[in-house]
Amino acid sequence: MTTETANIVILTGAGISAESGLGTFRDKDGLWTKYNLEDVATPEGFARNPELVQNFYNARRENCLNAEPNAAHFALARLEADHRGDVLIVTQNVDDLHERAGSKSVWHMHGQLNRALCANCSNRWDAPKVMDVSHPCPSCGVPAARPDVVWFGEMPYLMEDIETRLATADLFVSIGTSGSVYPAAGFALEAKTAGAECLELNLEPSDTPGSFDDSRFGPATKIVPQWVTEILAPK
């Protein structure tokens, strides 16, 4: 493998979208300091109080619609366009800022705010700006619409495909994630065990020490474009 043709798998988390104005979860003022995740991010919370959950995601959807991709999102899109090897982004983020920056190969393992899921028949469709649990599913007609996001206690999407790509990655890069939530938090070690070089780009060290061969710390809008420039023009 040479850097020019490396197969690259990139895991992104809330930190990459922080400078676009979308909050993170566990930083000071993060979403989980203001909301109880059991209330708004579990199937049990949705069963108890669907309106509260819909309101939480409606507010996040609105924030996302008002946000713009930042230099880190654009740098990853440039990497995908110009790099000779494969570039896959596996994101834990439910925003669509990677796609709006131009990335094509993006897998949303925790779902997407702009999609709706029928809790009755599992049909999916584009979410309206404001979702209501009384909205009928366009397929089965049952009023059981929920955001198409993965909640705690549910299986993240595309896990088998992700495992396959981790097993064949030459370079694994973790960007803007605290490494607090599995299975994503285990990806670096999996990729490393399978032979990949592992790099961490984050504001501060994540909770997965020992998984990375190299780490760079700073705001994503600075360190991600710098890293992409290095990969595309190796010395």
User: Which amino acids are annotated catalytic?
Assistant: 110
The β-bridge relationship of strands 171-175 and 8-12 is parallel
State the nearest-atom distance from the C-beta of 111 to ligand OAD, in Å: 8
Interacting residue with ligand OAD among 22, 76, 150, 169 (CB under 6 A): 150
- Residue partners of 38: CB distance under 8 A and separation at least 6: 44, 45, 152
Question: What is the spatial distance between Cα 69 and Cα 111, in angstroms, rounded to a whole number?
Answer: 18
Q: Does residue 27 touch ligand OAD according to CB under 6 A?
A: yes
Q: What amino acid is encoded at 226 in this protein?
A: Q
Interacting residue with ligand OAD among 18, 77, 162, 191 (CB under 6 A): 18
Total residues interacting with ligand OAD, rule: CB under 6 A: 26
Q: Does residue 178 touch ligand OAD according to CB under 6 A?
A: yes
Helix axes 71-82, 220-232, angle to 10 degrees: 20
Q: Which is closer to ligand OAD, CB of 19 or CB of 86?
A: 19
* Contact pattern for ligand OAD over residues 193 through 212, marking x by CB under 6 A: ---------xxx-x------
Q: Does residue 181 touch ligand OAD according to CB under 6 A?
A: yes
Q: In 10 A of CB 214, how many CB atoms? A: 11
Q: Calculate ∠ Cα 139-140-145, nearest 5°.
A: 85
- By CB under 6 A, name the binding residues for ligand OAD: 13-15, 18-19, 24-27, 30, 41, 92, 110, 150, 152, 176-178, 180-181, 202-204, 206, 219-220
